Amino acid sequence: MPRKKVAEEPKKSPAKKPSITKPAEAQEVKLTPVNMQVFSMTIEGISPLIQHSWNDKVKKILLEKKQGKKTKNRAPCDPEQEFRDATYVIKKGVYGMPVSALKSCLINAAHKDLGIEKTLVRKAVFIRCVNPDGLLPMQCSDPVMREDCVRLTGNSTDLRYRPEFKEWRVTMEIEHDADLLKPQEIMNLFTRAGFGVGLLEWRPEKGGEYGRFQVV
């Protein structure tokens, strides 16, 4: 009787050894120190400067309104006192310019179309100031008192008494990252800021003609 053929089992292919992926070589991070440099520059007004400082009395009234407290009846206006309170004073006879106003003026003059973006100016340029109130001393004439009619919320009007400086200049020390912005670029940007942005009240940026300046 013929023998039955036994089916042969298929030969198994040898198991493949798992491939070992070599870890990518860690790339060395090269971070150079900040190329911080300092230079001094002066700006000089080409139009009068109007200040309007927020005094402690006004801040207290605003805080009480925010807290929902009923404010007292308005006190009689004292133009001379309102004029003095609106002035930035470092010490007797020395008037100040807010560093924050200078930095904002410079930032608002920057634009990507000029090749200098606002974010770059924010992080690459700083104005040194040792005054705790953030004021730089001005070389200026004595302020004169202005009486201006201003429009308030609800179309009501009021009178404001503020200081105006006919002649003024400010010298500042500018700290900057020289790898991002050069001194001449910063000075050029300040020139643009002085021409079309301006400082403080009724400046060109807000539709006025005051607070314009040039680099000297």
CB 125 within 8 Å of CB 183: no
CATH number at residue 208: 3.30.70
- How many domains does the chain fold into? 1
Examine residue 152 and state whether it is found in any structural domain, yes or no.
Answer: no
pLDDT above 80 (res 5): no
Residue 28 lies in a domain: no
As to burial, measured by CB atoms within 10 angstroms (0-12 exposed, 13-18 middle, 19+ buried), residue 200 is: buried
Please give the pLDDT value at position 133: 95
Using an 8 Å Cβ cutoff, are 206 and 50 in contact?
no
**Is residue 117, in this structure, part of any structural domain at all?**
yes
CA distance 148 to 209: 15
Q: In whole angstroms, how far apart are CA 50 and each of 42, 160, 174? A: 19, 12, 24
| Helix pair angle (183-196, 99-109), 10° resolution | 90
Q: Tell me what pLDDT residue 21 has.
A: 65
Rounded-to-integer distance, Cα 29 and Cα 121, Å:
26
Is 84 part of any domain?
no
What domain range includes position 208?
A: 36-51+95-142+166-215
Query: Is 123 part of any domain?
Result: yes
- Tell me whether residue 1 is in a domain: no
Going by pLDDT thresholds of 50, 70 and 90, the confidence category of residue 103 is very high
Residue 175 lies in a domain: yes
Residues in the chain: 216
**Is the Cα torsion angle 61, 160, 100, 144 positive or negative in sign?**
negative
Q: Tell me: the pLDDT tens digits for 30-51?
A: 888 999 999 999 999 999 999 9
- pLDDT over threshold 60, residue 105: yes
pTM attached to this predicted model: 0.79
CA separation for the pair 155, 74 (Å, rounded): 19
Residue 168 pLDDT > 60, yes or no? Answer: yes
Does some domain include residue 181?
yes
| Sequence-separated (6 or more) residues with CB below 8 Å from residue 10 | none
Give the number of other CB atoms < 10 A from CB of residue 4. 6
Cα 181 from Cα 114, distance rounded (Å): 13
Q: Which residues contact 147 (CB under 8 A, 6 or more apart)?
A: 79, 159, 160, 161
> Tell me: the pLDDT tens digits for 49-102?
999 998 655 555 555 556 666 666 566 789 999 999 999 999 999 999 999 999
